[in-house]
Amino acid sequence: MADTYINNFTNKSLELCNGSLVVSDCLWRIILSCFMTLFMLMSCIGNGAVLLVLRYHHDDIKSASNYFITNLALTDFLLGVLCMPCILISCLNGQWVFGQTLCSLTGFANSFFCINSMITLAAVSVEKYCAIASPLTYHHYMSKSKVTCVISIIWIHSAINASLPFLGWGEYVYLPFETICTVAWWSFPNYVGFIVGINFGLPTVIMSCTYFLILKIARKHSRRIGVSTRRIHYKTHIKATLMLLIVIGSFIVCWLPHLISMIYLTIYEISPLPCSFHQITTWLAMANSAFNPIIYGAMDTSIRKGLKTLLGSWVKYCKLY
């Protein structure tokens, strides 16, 4: 019964995008599967390594910044472990093979982890702004109890948003042109507007505003210092600016195309965009979980040192055995 439902919905959803279903092509499936395998490995290994470093090789594990980065790494790691393998298998087979119940659960997990990741990125930007704008009161606003409370709210918010389709506002289905179980966007435009506005639009505005204010404060401080040290601070400012641009740029590049895909499926009865576009945008959204440990992990000096220590320990262990 569940398989019949999925097959019927698959046939219906094939009519929603322009052109033939690219996923039916064997070569195209292999290419996409290779990329998904890469993103899955990067997400699992990268985020797993960051979690190990923060747990065993970091001197300041209890700082507010590391709490948020731990939460980000955990959600991205779980997305890579629990969700990406199902997407990979569906891409290789050209169909969903796990039944409607697991499709709904996987759809919930995809939504939950992605929303959690996006909101956590916004929380990280606010934490960095507090650290630079109010260093004297930073520990008051970013105490362990308050940060734990914020992370708990993020998890509750993500769970509520991902559960709405189970309550009648949305429906988790398998989309063959994306090879993923997600919400039937075209059937619930109000839900799409809510999800895009709250979980992408708001975090993007928060990140843009906080990082703009951080750069503004950095410039203001650079004008107050002496000429002899201005060059050093200028280089630090350039490095910080580059990192912030990478953070915002990676987030927008990975998620904006997928949200455009969602909006097109909501507005148009038949999307004017090719089916391959919708599938590639899904891959990009998943890739954000693979890029986050590189941006937030490797670009942090203390975490980078921890990664080197962890790698060195692993190399010594391999030599012994």
| Residue with tokens 């472990």, as numbered in its chain | 81
- What is the reported pLDDT for 16? 57
Rounded CA separation 236/272 (Å) = 46
5 pLDDT more than 70: no
Number of neighbours of residue 274 by Cβ within 10 angstroms: 15
Confidence band, pLDDT 50/70/90 cuts, at residue 320 = low
| Higher-scoring residue by pLDDT: 233, 187 | 187
98 pLDDT more than 70: yes
- What is the reported pLDDT for 119? 93
Question: Is the residue at 105 inside a domain?
Answer: no
Question: Is the residue at 161 inside a domain?
Answer: yes
| Higher-scoring residue by pLDDT: 102, 135 | 102
The burial class, CB within 10 Å (0-12 / 13-18 / 19+), for 33 is middle
164 pLDDT more than 50: yes
Put simply, whether the predicted model's pTM sits higher than 0.75 gets the answer yes
Question: Is the residue at 268 inside a domain?
Answer: yes
CATH number for position 220: 1.20.1070.10
Question: Is the residue at 22 inside a domain?
Answer: yes
> Using an 8 Å Cβ cutoff, are 244 and 213 in contact?
no
- Give the closest residue to 271 by CA, choosing from 19, 45, 42, 39: 19
> Which tokens in the block code for residue 267?
């507005």
The letter for the amino acid at 103 is C
- The range of the structural domain enclosing residue 265 comes to 18-85+111-169+184-305
With pLDDT > 90 as the criterion, what percentage of the chain qualifies?
A: 19
Question: Is the residue at 277 inside a domain?
Answer: yes
> Using an 8 Å Cβ cutoff, are 222 and 255 in contact?
no
Give the residue-averaged pLDDT of 130-150: 85
Question: Is the residue at 175 inside a domain?
Answer: no
Question: Is the residue at 151 inside a domain?
Answer: yes
Number of neighbours of residue 222 by Cβ within 10 angstroms: 15
Rounded CA separation 48/42 (Å) = 9
3-state per-residue secondary structure call for the chain: CHHHHHHHHHHHHHHHCECCCHHHCHHHHHHHHHHHHHHHHHHHHHHHHHHHHHHHCCCCCCCHHHHHHHHHHHHHHHHHHHHHHHHHHHHHHCCCCCHHHHHHHHHHHHHHHHHHHHHHHHHHHHHHHHHHHCCCCHHHHCCHHHHHHHHHHHHHHHHHHHHHHHHCCCCEEEECCCCEEEECHHHCHHHHHHHHHHHHHHHHHHHHHHHHHHHHHHHHHHHHCCHHHHHHHHHHHHHHHHHHHHHHHHHHHHHHHHHHHHHHHHHCCCCCCEHHHHHHHHHHHHHHHHHHHHHHHHCCHHHHHHHHHHHHHHHHHHHHC
**Residues 8-57: pLDDT tens digits?**
444 445 455 555 444 457 788 888 889 989 999 999 998 998 888 887 76
Rounded CA separation 321/308 (Å) = 20
- What is the reported pLDDT for 7? 46
Confidence band, pLDDT 50/70/90 cuts, at residue 156 = very high
**Structurally, how many domains does the chain consist of?**
1
Question: Is the residue at 178 inside a domain?
Answer: no
* Diameter over CA atoms, the chain: 75
253 pLDDT more than 70: yes
